[in-house]
Chain A
């Protein structure tokens, strides 16, 4: 499992509320990623980080922000959740061989 955990694993929230998802790794890898998984769309990159305080946008970054204040944690924030952000969110790290390893996912429902 490459030492990757995500919290919470499930969350139900209401439209307009802020939501923060946490990804934690124990392997000290530099690169971390947030994806969303939706039927018919596969996985799409939201944001990624290439070091502490170094982040960049992915394909579907609108409505999301990220922070990385220490190597082991990468936070994804929905400032004001919308129903279109109902999805399964996966965190990933890039290992030494450039292969990405995924966390268990967070299932988010926005009502």
Chain B
């Protein structure tokens, strides 16, 4: 079964510290993975898509097929990074192609 696991409900760091938000997935085949961010009471926004290999707001994520992971990293956290972060996997069965399977999310809190 396709599944996304975000093991940490809450991650608290100090400003300027490195951040790593973990995401593991189970999927057979070539996965398509995303990170979405949701600031307080706002809509979800796309942060990263693995296929584009971009760096957005200083965040990067590398797909590791061997470890089935897509961890989100930032070398120096800022207070404005405080938000809810969701990892998502695009379903690839014929019926669900393009549907997203979300992890339960990790709340990042960056302290001054």
Judged by a CB distance under 8 angstroms, whether A84 is at the interface is: no
- Give the docked Cα–Cα distance between A48 and B44 (Å): 17
* A43 touches which of B86, B95, B98 (Cβ 8 Å): B86
Q: In chain B, what residue has the closest Cβ to A44?
A: B102
Q: Mark A1-38, 1 if CB is under 8 A from B, else 0.
A: 10000000000000000000000000000010100000
Q: Is the CB of A40 within 8 A of B104?
A: yes
Centre residue among A90, A94, A100 by max chain B CB count within 10 A:
A100
Interface residues on B, range: 20 to 34
- Give the docked Cα–Cα distance between A42 and B76 (Å): 26
- Give the docked Cα–Cα distance between A31 and B90 (Å): 14
Judged by a CB distance under 8 angstroms, whether A63 is at the interface is: no
Interface residues on A, range: 20 to 34
Main secondary structure of the interface of B (DSSP, over half): loop
Q: Is the CB of A99 within 8 A of B104?
A: no
Q: Mark B1-35, 1 if CB is under 8 A from A, else 0.
A: 00000100100000000000000000000001010
Q: Is the CB of A56 within 8 A of B104?
A: no
| B7 CB to nearest A CB, Å | 13
Residues facing A in B31-52 (CB within 8 A) are 32, 34, 36, 42-46, 49
- Give the docked Cα–Cα distance between A44 and B44 (Å): 13
- List B residues at the A interface (Cβ < 8 Å): 6, 9, 32, 34, 36, 42-46, 49, 86, 90, 95, 98-100, 102-105
